[in-house]
Structure 1
Amino acid sequence: MGAFISLTPNEYLTSMNVSFGLEVNGSIDNNLGAPISLLSDLRAMGGMMLVIGLYILMANFQKDLMKSAVFISAVFYTTFSVFKTLSIMLDGTPQFEILLAFLIELMMAFSGLLLIFLTKHRYETKGSAE
């Protein structure tokens, strides 16, 4: 998702049925694209998602990164879940694809928090033995 959003923000917006075209003679010209400031924010957000995803992927191959990758993942998905919940409460129910992503993010947040909780004792025991 991070690569998709950061490299093709107009397509990302189009996939969510967001149009920034102007109505001319009763039809919409969608070639104008999104405002530059919005594209800038979307590319930055997508880039952050891409880098976080790459770090978490690297942790699968470098075990010393695993603890921080689980923590980052849990924080990332918990934050998305909390703020999408807030958005649903304040803005209303989004389209089905966003709700599906929300459910996946909730599961990822729960999994990350569960991993942190289950491994907390292991890290505390390991740290106090050294």
Structure 2
Amino acid sequence: MSINIVTLVGRVGGDPDIKYFESGSVKCRLTLAVNRRSRNRDEPDWFTLELWDKTAEIAGNYVRKGSLIGIKGSLKFDTWSDRQTGASRSMPVIRVDQLELLGSKRDNEGGGGDFSPENF
């Protein structure tokens, strides 16, 4: 048995980066800051999120820098070869399956809600 589920709540670090592909697919990448409690102060951990298709479109329309969101997804690693050195590189990415807008209507320009692809 194996489980790969990530659930996070935090604030978006910048406006979504949306890409449209000739195949009709849509991809959105954004960063999420999640506070990690420590004895002296809260320290943010930064995560890169990847959303696809309907969820990506919703993020592009409703999510902005500073928005409070909740996500559920899975952890994956993007890998590539460095162009200058040829060394293998990798970066953890959260592949989002479920997106929830948690801020006020003013924060999200449209209110909160469960924006899973199956709800559309």
TM-score band by shorter chain is: under 0.3
Give TM-score scaled by structure 1 length.
0.18
Q: Which of the two has greater strand per residue?
A: 2
Which of the two has higher C-alpha Rg? Answer: 1
* Structure with more relative contact order (C-alpha pairs < 8 Å, separation 6 or more): 2
Q: Which has the higher helix share?
A: 1
* Normalised TM-score (structure 2): 0.19
